[in-house]
Protein backbone atom coordinates (compact mmCIF):
# COMPACT_ATOMS: atom_id res chain seq x y z
CA UNK A 1 0.00 0.00 0.00
CA UNK A 2 1.17 3.53 -0.77
CA UNK A 3 -0.10 6.96 0.27
CA UNK A 4 0.78 10.01 -1.80
CA UNK A 5 -0.24 13.61 -1.13
CA UNK A 6 -0.40 15.38 -4.47
CA UNK A 7 0.68 18.87 -3.42
CA UNK A 8 2.70 18.58 -0.20
CA UNK A 9 5.49 16.21 -1.20
CA UNK A 10 8.78 16.73 -2.99
CA UNK A 11 7.85 14.25 -5.71
CA UNK A 12 7.34 15.45 -9.28
CA UNK A 13 3.70 16.03 -10.24
CA UNK A 14 1.93 15.49 -13.56
CA UNK A 15 -1.46 17.07 -14.28
CA UNK A 16 -4.06 15.42 -16.51
CA UNK A 17 -6.19 18.24 -17.92
CA UNK A 18 -9.74 17.79 -19.19
CA UNK A 19 -10.35 19.84 -22.33
CA UNK A 20 -13.57 21.27 -23.84
CA UNK A 21 -15.75 18.88 -25.84
CA UNK A 22 -17.19 21.78 -27.84
CA UNK A 23 -17.72 24.93 -25.80
CA UNK A 24 -14.40 26.71 -25.20
CA UNK A 25 -15.80 28.42 -22.09
CA UNK A 26 -15.49 25.07 -20.32
CA UNK A 27 -11.68 25.36 -20.34
CA UNK A 28 -11.28 26.47 -16.74
CA UNK A 29 -9.14 29.22 -15.27
CA UNK A 30 -7.33 26.59 -13.24
CA UNK A 31 -6.55 24.61 -16.41
CA UNK A 32 -5.12 27.74 -18.08
CA UNK A 33 -3.05 28.55 -14.99
CA UNK A 34 -1.57 25.05 -14.80
CA UNK A 35 -0.69 25.06 -18.51
CA UNK A 36 0.99 28.47 -18.16
CA UNK A 37 3.10 27.10 -15.29
CA UNK A 38 4.25 23.96 -17.14
CA UNK A 39 7.29 23.43 -19.37
CA UNK A 40 5.79 20.92 -21.80
CA UNK A 41 2.28 19.99 -22.92
CA UNK A 42 2.01 16.31 -23.82
CA UNK A 43 -1.10 15.67 -25.86
CA UNK A 44 -2.97 13.35 -28.18
CA UNK A 45 -2.69 15.56 -31.26
CA UNK A 46 -0.22 18.46 -31.21
CA UNK A 47 -2.14 20.35 -33.92
CA UNK A 48 -5.45 20.23 -32.03
CA UNK A 49 -3.86 21.13 -28.72
CA UNK A 50 -1.84 24.01 -30.18
CA UNK A 51 -5.01 25.34 -31.81
CA UNK A 52 -6.85 25.21 -28.48
CA UNK A 53 -4.06 26.93 -26.56
CA UNK A 54 -3.73 29.62 -29.24
CA UNK A 55 -7.34 30.59 -28.62
CA UNK A 56 -6.27 31.54 -25.08
CA UNK A 57 -3.03 33.17 -26.19
CA UNK A 58 -0.98 30.39 -24.62
CA UNK A 59 2.17 29.22 -26.36
CA UNK A 60 3.88 26.08 -25.06
CA UNK A 61 6.01 23.34 -26.63
CA UNK A 62 3.99 20.18 -27.28
CA UNK A 63 4.83 16.49 -27.34
CA UNK A 64 2.72 13.79 -29.02
CA UNK A 65 1.50 10.91 -26.87
CA UNK A 66 -1.20 9.05 -28.77
CA UNK A 67 -2.70 5.56 -28.93
CA UNK A 68 -0.05 4.10 -31.25
CA UNK A 69 3.01 5.41 -29.43
CA UNK A 70 1.79 5.68 -25.84
CA UNK A 71 4.21 3.19 -24.29
CA UNK A 72 7.35 4.62 -25.91
CA UNK A 73 6.21 8.22 -25.51
CA UNK A 74 5.42 7.60 -21.82
CA UNK A 75 8.98 6.39 -21.22
CA UNK A 76 10.38 9.50 -22.90
CA UNK A 77 8.16 11.75 -20.79
CA UNK A 78 9.07 9.94 -17.56
CA UNK A 79 12.74 10.68 -18.22
CA UNK A 80 11.94 14.34 -18.88
CA UNK A 81 9.89 14.59 -15.68
CA UNK A 82 12.67 12.99 -13.63
CA UNK A 83 15.09 15.57 -15.03
CA UNK A 84 12.87 18.40 -13.75
CA UNK A 85 10.54 19.14 -16.69
CA UNK A 86 7.03 20.15 -15.60
CA UNK A 87 4.63 18.13 -17.79
CA UNK A 88 0.87 18.22 -18.27
CA UNK A 89 -1.15 15.87 -20.46
CA UNK A 90 -4.26 16.77 -22.51
CA UNK A 91 -6.38 14.71 -24.89
CA UNK A 92 -8.24 16.25 -27.83
CA UNK A 93 -11.56 16.51 -25.99
CA UNK A 94 -12.78 15.55 -22.53
CA UNK A 95 -10.75 13.59 -20.00
CA UNK A 96 -7.49 11.83 -20.87
CA UNK A 97 -7.83 8.06 -20.49
CA UNK A 98 -11.59 7.97 -21.11
CA UNK A 99 -11.82 6.30 -24.55
CA UNK A 100 -8.62 8.25 -25.25
CA UNK A 101 -4.90 7.72 -24.58
CA UNK A 102 -3.56 8.45 -21.10
CA UNK A 103 -4.03 5.38 -18.93
CA UNK A 104 -0.66 3.81 -19.84
CA UNK A 105 1.07 7.12 -19.11
CA UNK A 106 -0.61 7.30 -15.68
CA UNK A 107 0.49 3.74 -14.84
CA UNK A 108 4.07 4.57 -15.85
CA UNK A 109 4.02 7.72 -13.70
CA UNK A 110 2.81 5.81 -10.66
CA UNK A 111 5.36 3.04 -11.22
CA UNK A 112 8.09 5.69 -11.27
CA UNK A 113 6.91 7.42 -8.07
CA UNK A 114 5.53 10.45 -9.90
CA UNK A 115 2.34 11.97 -8.50
CA UNK A 116 -0.70 12.44 -10.75
CA UNK A 117 -3.49 14.97 -10.28
CA UNK A 118 -6.54 15.93 -12.34
CA UNK A 119 -7.78 19.28 -13.60
CA UNK A 120 -11.50 18.73 -14.05
CA UNK A 121 -13.66 19.83 -16.97
CA UNK A 122 -15.98 18.55 -19.69
CA UNK A 123 -17.14 14.94 -19.94
CA UNK A 124 -19.34 13.84 -22.83
CA UNK A 125 -20.72 10.70 -21.20
CA UNK A 126 -21.56 12.39 -17.90
CA UNK A 127 -23.25 15.29 -19.68
CA UNK A 128 -25.44 12.94 -21.69
CA UNK A 129 -26.22 10.66 -18.76
CA UNK A 130 -27.36 13.54 -16.55
CA UNK A 131 -29.62 14.98 -19.25
CA UNK A 132 -30.95 11.60 -20.44
CA UNK A 133 -33.81 11.23 -17.99
CA UNK A 134 -32.73 7.63 -17.39
CA UNK A 135 -31.57 6.20 -14.06
CA UNK A 136 -28.38 7.90 -12.86
CA UNK A 137 -28.01 6.09 -9.52
CA UNK A 138 -25.89 3.37 -11.11
CA UNK A 139 -24.36 3.34 -14.59
CA UNK A 140 -21.89 1.35 -16.67
CA UNK A 141 -19.72 3.27 -19.10
CA UNK A 142 -18.45 1.05 -21.93
CA UNK A 143 -17.20 3.51 -24.52
CA UNK A 144 -16.80 2.33 -28.11
CA UNK A 145 -18.10 -1.08 -29.14
CA UNK A 146 -15.99 -3.07 -31.57
CA UNK A 147 -16.44 -1.96 -35.20
CA UNK A 148 -16.77 -5.66 -36.09
CA UNK A 149 -20.40 -6.71 -35.71
CA UNK A 150 -19.63 -10.20 -34.40
CA UNK A 151 -17.37 -8.78 -31.73
CA UNK A 152 -19.87 -6.05 -30.83
CA UNK A 153 -22.59 -8.70 -30.40
CA UNK A 154 -20.34 -10.62 -27.99
CA UNK A 155 -19.62 -7.45 -26.03
CA UNK A 156 -23.32 -6.59 -25.76
CA UNK A 157 -24.31 -10.14 -24.79
CA UNK A 158 -21.84 -9.92 -21.91
CA UNK A 159 -23.62 -6.85 -20.52
CA UNK A 160 -27.26 -7.37 -21.54
CA UNK A 161 -28.28 -8.53 -18.06
CA UNK A 162 -26.76 -5.54 -16.28
CA UNK A 163 -29.36 -3.46 -14.45
CA UNK A 164 -27.25 -0.27 -14.57
CA UNK A 165 -27.80 2.35 -17.26
CA UNK A 166 -25.41 1.62 -20.15
CA UNK A 167 -23.34 4.29 -21.91
CA UNK A 168 -21.60 4.06 -25.28
CA UNK A 169 -19.65 6.34 -27.60
CA UNK A 170 -20.00 6.22 -31.38
CA UNK A 171 -18.85 8.10 -34.46
CA UNK A 172 -21.33 9.45 -37.05
CA UNK A 173 -20.37 7.03 -39.82
CA UNK A 174 -21.12 3.99 -37.61
CA UNK A 175 -24.03 5.20 -35.50
CA UNK A 176 -26.86 3.55 -37.48
CA UNK A 177 -25.17 0.14 -37.57
CA UNK A 178 -24.33 0.37 -33.88
CA UNK A 179 -27.89 1.30 -32.90
CA UNK A 180 -29.28 -1.66 -34.85
CA UNK A 181 -26.83 -4.06 -33.19
CA UNK A 182 -27.66 -2.70 -29.73
CA UNK A 183 -31.40 -3.02 -30.45
CA UNK A 184 -31.08 -6.57 -31.77
CA UNK A 185 -29.11 -7.74 -28.72
CA UNK A 186 -30.63 -5.72 -25.87
CA UNK A 187 -34.24 -5.52 -27.07
CA UNK A 188 -36.47 -2.47 -27.25
CA UNK A 189 -35.34 -0.41 -24.27
CA UNK A 190 -35.55 3.31 -23.61
CA UNK A 191 -32.51 5.14 -24.97
CA UNK A 192 -31.12 8.60 -25.59
CA UNK A 193 -28.64 9.96 -28.12
CA UNK A 194 -26.72 13.09 -27.16
CA UNK A 195 -24.96 14.86 -30.01
CA UNK A 196 -22.94 18.04 -30.45
CA UNK A 197 -22.80 18.32 -26.65
CA UNK A 198 -22.11 21.82 -25.27
CA UNK A 199 -22.13 23.22 -28.83
CA UNK A 200 -24.73 25.51 -30.42
CA UNK A 201 -26.51 22.55 -32.06
CA UNK A 202 -26.58 20.39 -28.93
CA UNK A 203 -29.46 17.91 -29.17
CA UNK A 204 -30.89 15.03 -27.14
CA UNK A 205 -32.91 12.46 -29.07
CA UNK A 206 -35.06 10.38 -26.73
CA UNK A 207 -37.08 7.29 -27.60
CA UNK A 208 -36.76 3.52 -27.79
CA UNK A 209 -33.89 1.63 -29.38
CA UNK A 210 -36.23 0.59 -32.17
CA UNK A 211 -37.15 4.21 -32.89
CA UNK A 212 -33.58 5.43 -32.72
CA UNK A 213 -32.29 2.64 -34.97
CA UNK A 214 -34.74 3.78 -37.67
CA UNK A 215 -34.08 7.50 -37.37
CA UNK A 216 -33.31 9.61 -40.44
CA UNK A 217 -29.58 9.67 -41.21
CA UNK A 218 -29.68 13.48 -41.49
CA UNK A 219 -30.47 13.64 -37.77
CA UNK A 220 -27.23 11.91 -36.79
CA UNK A 221 -24.44 14.41 -37.31
CA UNK A 222 -21.47 14.97 -35.00
CA UNK A 223 -19.88 12.87 -32.27
CA UNK A 224 -22.48 11.02 -30.23
CA UNK A 225 -23.14 9.43 -26.87
CA UNK A 226 -25.73 6.64 -26.55
CA UNK A 227 -27.37 6.08 -23.15
CA UNK A 228 -29.47 2.92 -22.81
CA UNK A 229 -31.82 1.81 -20.05
CA UNK A 230 -30.48 -1.10 -17.99
CA UNK A 231 -32.13 -4.51 -17.84
CA UNK A 232 -35.29 -3.95 -15.80
CA UNK A 233 -36.40 -7.60 -15.87
CA UNK A 234 -35.60 -8.67 -12.33
CA UNK A 235 -36.64 -12.31 -12.61
CA UNK A 236 -36.75 -15.00 -15.25
CA UNK A 237 -39.13 -14.52 -18.14
CA UNK A 238 -42.77 -15.27 -17.21
CA UNK A 239 -42.99 -18.21 -19.61
CA UNK A 240 -46.57 -19.13 -18.68
CA UNK A 241 -47.78 -15.60 -19.42
CA UNK A 242 -45.79 -15.42 -22.65
CA UNK A 243 -47.09 -18.78 -23.89
CA UNK A 244 -50.63 -17.72 -23.04
CA UNK A 245 -50.14 -14.50 -25.00
CA UNK A 246 -48.70 -16.44 -27.95
CA UNK A 247 -51.75 -18.75 -28.03
CA UNK A 248 -54.10 -15.78 -27.87
CA UNK A 249 -52.38 -13.93 -30.69
CA UNK A 250 -52.26 -17.07 -32.81
CA UNK A 251 -56.00 -17.50 -32.34
CA UNK A 252 -56.46 -13.99 -33.71
CA UNK A 253 -54.68 -15.00 -36.89
CA UNK A 254 -51.48 -13.00 -36.37
CA UNK A 255 -48.30 -14.11 -38.09
CA UNK A 256 -45.34 -15.39 -36.08
CA UNK A 257 -43.42 -12.27 -37.05
CA UNK A 258 -46.16 -10.01 -35.66
CA UNK A 259 -46.43 -12.12 -32.51
CA UNK A 260 -42.70 -11.81 -31.86
CA UNK A 261 -42.84 -8.06 -32.47
CA UNK A 262 -45.78 -7.51 -30.09
CA UNK A 263 -44.55 -9.68 -27.23
CA UNK A 264 -40.99 -8.36 -27.36
CA UNK A 265 -42.37 -4.84 -26.93
CA UNK A 266 -44.73 -5.80 -24.11
CA UNK A 267 -42.07 -7.62 -22.09
CA UNK A 268 -39.13 -5.47 -23.27
CA UNK A 269 -37.03 -8.47 -24.24
CA UNK A 270 -34.99 -9.36 -27.28
CA UNK A 271 -36.96 -10.73 -30.23
CA UNK A 272 -34.63 -13.73 -30.39
CA UNK A 273 -35.77 -14.80 -26.91
CA UNK A 274 -39.41 -14.75 -27.98
CA UNK A 275 -38.53 -16.54 -31.21
CA UNK A 276 -36.94 -19.38 -29.27
CA UNK A 277 -40.09 -19.79 -27.18
CA UNK A 278 -42.36 -19.59 -30.23
CA UNK A 279 -40.47 -22.14 -32.28
SS (H, E, C) the chain: CCCCCCCCCCCCEEEEECECCCCHHHCCHHHHHHHHHCCEEEECCHHHHHHHHHCCCCCCCEEECCHHHHHHHHHHHHHHHHCCCCEEEECCCECCCCCCCCHHHHHHHHHCCCEEEEECCCCHHHHHHHHHCCCCCCEEEEEECCCCHHHHHHHHHHHCCCCCEEEEEECHHHHHHHHHHHHHHHCCCEEEEEECCCCCCCEEEEEEHHHHHCCCHHHCCCCEEEEECCCCCCCCCCHHHHHHHHHHHHHCCCCHHHHHHHHHHHHCCCHHHHHHHHC
β-bridge pairing 224-228 and 165-170: antiparallel
List, in sequence order, every residue forming a beta bridge with 94; answer none if it has no partner: 19
Q: CA-CA distance, 255 to 261, in Å (whole number)?
A: 10
Please give the CATH superfamily to which domain 125-228 belongs: Tetrapyrrole methylase, C-terminal domain (3.30.950.10)
Banded model confidence at residue 159, pLDDT cuts 50, 70, 90: very high
Same fold, 13-122 and 125-228: no
Q: Which CATH class is domain 13-122?
A: alpha beta
CA atoms within 13 A on the CB side of 177: 14
Least confident among 36-50, 101-115, 201-215, 252-266:
252-266
pLDDT digits (tens, 9 = 90+) for 14-31: 999 999 999 999 999 999
In the chain, where are the structural domains located? 13-122, 125-228, 239-278
Taking CA atoms, 85 is separated from 78, 118, 209, in Å, by 9, 18, 49
List, in sequence order, every residue forming a beta bridge with 64; answer none if it has no partner: 43
What burial class does residue 262 get, using C-beta atoms within 10 Å of its C-beta: 0-12 exposed, 13-18 middle, 19+ buried?
Answer: middle
pLDDT digits (tens, 9 = 90+) for 41-57: 999 999 999 999 999 99
Q: CA-CA distance, 32 to 184, in Å (whole number)?
A: 45
For residue 235, the model assigns a pLDDT of: 47
pLDDT of 64 strictly over 90 = yes
Amino acid sequence: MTKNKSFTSNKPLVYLIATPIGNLKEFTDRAKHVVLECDLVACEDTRNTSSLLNKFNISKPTFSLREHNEKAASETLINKIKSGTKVVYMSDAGYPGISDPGSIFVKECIANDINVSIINGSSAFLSCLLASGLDTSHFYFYGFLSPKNNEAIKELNAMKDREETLIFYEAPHRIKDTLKVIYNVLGNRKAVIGRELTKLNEEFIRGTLEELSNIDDDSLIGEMVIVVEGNKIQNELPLDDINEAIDLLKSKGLTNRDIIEIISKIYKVNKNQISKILY
